[in-house]
A = this chain, B = another copy of it.
Amino acid sequence: MAVPLIDRDDLDFTLWRVLGAESLTRYPRFAEHDRGTFSQVIETARAIAEDKFRPHAAKSDANEPRIENGKVVLIPEIGEALQAFAEAGFLAAHHDAEIGGLQLPWTIQQAAFAHFKAANTPTVGYAFLTIAAANLIHAHGSAEQKRLWMQPMLDGRTFGTMALSEPHAGSSLSDVRTAARQLDGDRYAIKGSKMWTSAGEHELTRNIVHMTLARIEGAPPGVKGLSLFIVPRYRLDAAGEPTVPNDVTLVGLNHKMGYRGTVNTALNFGDGDDCVGYLVGAPGRGLANMFHMMNEARVGVAFGAIMLAYAGFQESLEYARTRAQGRHPGDKDPTTPQLPLVEHADIRRMLLQQKAVAEGGLMLALDLALRIDRQKQDPDEAVRRHEALLLDFLTPIIKAWYSDRALEANHNAIQILGGYGYTRDYPVERIYRDNRLNPIHEGTNAIQAIDLLGRKAGIAEGAAFRAVVDEIRATLAEAEGKPELDALRRETATGLERLVATTETLLTAAPDIGAIRMLSNAAAYMDMAGLVVFGWVWLRQGLAALAELPQAAAGRPRDFLLGKLQTARYVAAWELPRTAQHAALLGSLDDTLTTMEASWL
């Protein structure tokens, strides 16, 4: 029997005990829902993920997309899985009922989608890009654009992409060169080359809509000159059908280490001067409008990384329970049976690291989803603002810190399986290769660290940072006097004070030492902030576990809660103390990286 995609006990515990997600039904938008319908949606997702997504993950990896007769060929299971996804209504799940949606909270949609991420991230990628593209048009497009381009995405007739990067402009979007020349109204002639466009060409749907950054003739250089366009693969004919080729050329496919099922393309727009794009929103607002989506995309990337950690954890836990190998140190009697791997201390360390990242990450990702819901739905403006500030600060952390630690988790999963883990007979090596992408895309982790320290730590006169600090202090206060959480409470409190002092030091020094040096050690700042948040996450898990413990039945219910408390101990002993090192480096304004000359390397 296959291992569970997500431990049901864990998801229930996180959603209903730690996060209290049922509270969402108080908001009028979700009033038709209750915990029963929420659970039903999640169960549907689990079933489709297990039946339609997981079974072809290995096959899809082994048979990567290729071009045949000018067309991109994917294994058929990808299309079948996505059809099941669309038929379940998941492409429109969070939208209004009146446009075919389920008016599902983002939180519940994300809890459902987590199963697809764990089952087969590359296949579900087509759907997630489509949802993101539809969201962009929903937020910034005209009524006609919504009707013509968004509506077909909600039922899966058209898929979407993000066409941002160019061959010379990967991280540096301010250098995008793709040009747009107005034809009439919102119609522009588009010309340029795009790189790294995922799902950029395929035959899964009749049409593909590329949400494209381009520069209108005469627009200023830099990000302020960028506008957002709908560039379809096919334009619509008089009958409204996508039959008119739109001069979008597939230049080639990128062949990746992992994540292979998601075809990744280099595209040319307007080689034959016949590519039309439709301006979305105001000219010059392209990147600004896109950033709204990008923040969700960053949490999405992190969530994907976390669910790969989760999948690797489940696989390696199952292996560690069933594979007998070796004996305890000191036990030299070779006639005794070998022990299951899980009995070895270092295997437990690697399982606990995975559990901490996977379950803690799942909780944080859903916590952020809940804040997105509250930020949009809460009647109290102070709540909305508070949640927005928290999201600002926590988004780069979940993206960078969790994608790094999730990859470490997958490393540990392989290590537990030993030689078998290095083979393609077990899924952990594929999971690891898939996950290696996540520290790179949607803004490299270095860029996230600069965003965190250079922007988020200081914005609104430090209000985002203070909002996070206040939340963590509230949790620390709650954990007072609970001996089971004492170690983690102390380490988190110490880490938090270090983070506060370091942030103060750096922001105060910035005018003197300049932005380059102030930001040069941002990677250390990211790890410190990530660790403090990690401590906070596990304190909340621990508090919820303690609250449940007295009434928990012996056996699995009780063991589950004790596992949470032990993971909190692991986080305190093995992870949090790293903040000391970062505080010293950052506090001293260490200039090793900035005094380095390139010629010395």
Residue ID in chain B nearest A165 by CB atoms: B419
Contact B601 A317 (CB under 8 A): yes
Complex interface: stretch among A135-143, A237-245, A250-258: A250-258
- Residues of chain B within 8 A (CB-CB) of A449 are 346
Contact A569 B598 (CB under 8 A): no
List, sorted by A's number, 17 A–B pairs whose CB atoms are closer than 8 Å: A170-B325, A171-B418, A174-B334, A175-B334, A254-B423, A256-B423, A257-B429, A257-B432, A257-B433, A343-B598, A345-B594, A355-B601, A414-B436, A524-B574, A556-B599, A563-B600, A573-B590
Q: Is A8 an interface residue (CB 8 A)?
A: no
- Residues of chain B within 8 A (CB-CB) of A444 are 415, 418
Point out the residue from B325, B420, B450, B570 that lies within 8 Å of A592, measured CB to CB.
B570
Q: A196-B419, A222-B335, A563-B601 are in contact. List 17 more A-B contacts (CB 8 A).
A: A165-B419, A172-B327, A257-B424, A258-B422, A328-B516, A330-B515, A345-B516, A345-B521, A345-B593, A346-B522, A348-B596, A348-B598, A352-B592, A422-B436, A559-B600, A566-B600, A578-B581
Q: Is A184 an interface residue (CB 8 A)?
A: no
Bound complex: CA of A273 vs CA of B230, how far in Å? Answer: 71
- Residues of chain B within 8 A (CB-CB) of A600 are 559-560, 562-563, 566
Which A residues, 558 to 586, have Cβ-Cβ distances below 8 Å to chain B? 559-560, 562-563, 566, 569-570, 573-574, 577-578, 580-581, 584-585
**A334-B222, A421-B440, A519-B345 in contact; A574/B578 too (CB < 8 A)?**
no
- Residues of chain B within 8 A (CB-CB) of A321 are 598
Which A residues, 486 to 523, have Cβ-Cβ distances below 8 Å to chain B? 514-517, 519-523
Contact A562 B334 (CB under 8 A): no
* Interface residues in chain A, defined as those with a beta carbon under 8 Å from any beta carbon in chain B: 165, 168-172, 174-175, 195-196, 221-223, 254-258, 317, 321, 324-330, 332-335, 338, 340, 342-349, 351-352, 355, 407, 411, 414-415, 418-425, 429, 432-433, 436-437, 439-441, 444-446, 449-450, 454, 514-517, 519-524, 556, 559-560, 562-563, 566, 569-570, 573-574, 577-578, 580-581, 584-585, 590, 592-601
- Residues of chain B within 8 A (CB-CB) of A522 are 345-346
- Residues of chain B within 8 A (CB-CB) of A441 are 419
Nearest-CB distance from A193 to chain B (Å)?
14
Bound complex: CA of A328 vs CA of B514, how far in Å? Answer: 11
Nearest-CB distance from A579 to chain B (Å)?
9
Residue ID in chain B nearest A175 by CB atoms: B338
Residue ID in chain B nearest A345 by CB atoms: B520
- Residues of chain B within 8 A (CB-CB) of A414 are 436, 440
Contact A334 B418 (CB under 8 A): no
Contact B171 A257 (CB under 8 A): no
Contact B437 A422 (CB under 8 A): yes
Nearest-CB distance from A322 to chain B (Å)?
11
Residue ID in chain B nearest A441 by CB atoms: B419
- Residues of chain B within 8 A (CB-CB) of A257 are 422-424, 429, 432-433
Total copies of the chain: 2
Contact B346 A446 (CB under 8 A): yes
Pick the most buried of A324, A329, A355, A517: most chain B CB atoms within 10 A of its CB.
A329
Contact B454 A329 (CB under 8 A): yes
- Residues of chain B within 8 A (CB-CB) of A578 are 578, 581
Contact A348 B593 (CB under 8 A): yes
Contact A596 B566 (CB under 8 A): yes
Nearest-CB distance from A215 to chain B (Å)?
11
Pick the most buried of A348, A419, A566, A601: most chain B CB atoms within 10 A of its CB.
A601
Bound complex: CA of A588 vs CA of B392, how far in Å? Answer: 38
Nearest-CB distance from A136 to chain B (Å)?
22
Residue ID in chain B nearest A313 by CB atoms: B601
**A520-B345, A597-B562 in contact; A424/B175 too (CB < 8 A)?**
no
Pick the most buried of A196, A520, A573, A600: most chain B CB atoms within 10 A of its CB.
A600
**A345-B593, A422-B437 in contact; A446/B514 too (CB < 8 A)?**
no
Nearest-CB distance from A80 to chain B (Å)?
26
- Residues of chain B within 8 A (CB-CB) of A563 are 600-601
Bound complex: CA of A105 vs CA of B169, how far in Å? Answer: 50
Bound complex: CA of A554 vs CA of B390, how far in Å? Answer: 52
5 closest A-B pairs by beta carbon, nearest first, are A222-B334, A563-B600, A345-B520, A330-B515, A346-B446
Contact B523 A349 (CB under 8 A): yes
**A342-B598, A345-B516, A355-B601 in contact; A326/B171 too (CB < 8 A)?**
yes
Nearest-CB distance from A525 to chain B (Å)?
11
Nearest-CB distance from A44 to chain B (Å)?
28
Bound complex: CA of A516 vs CA of B324, how far in Å? Answer: 17
Point out the residue from B514, B585, B598 that lies within 8 Å of A340, measured CB to CB.
B598
Residue ID in chain B nearest A172 by CB atoms: B326
Contact B515 A328 (CB under 8 A): yes
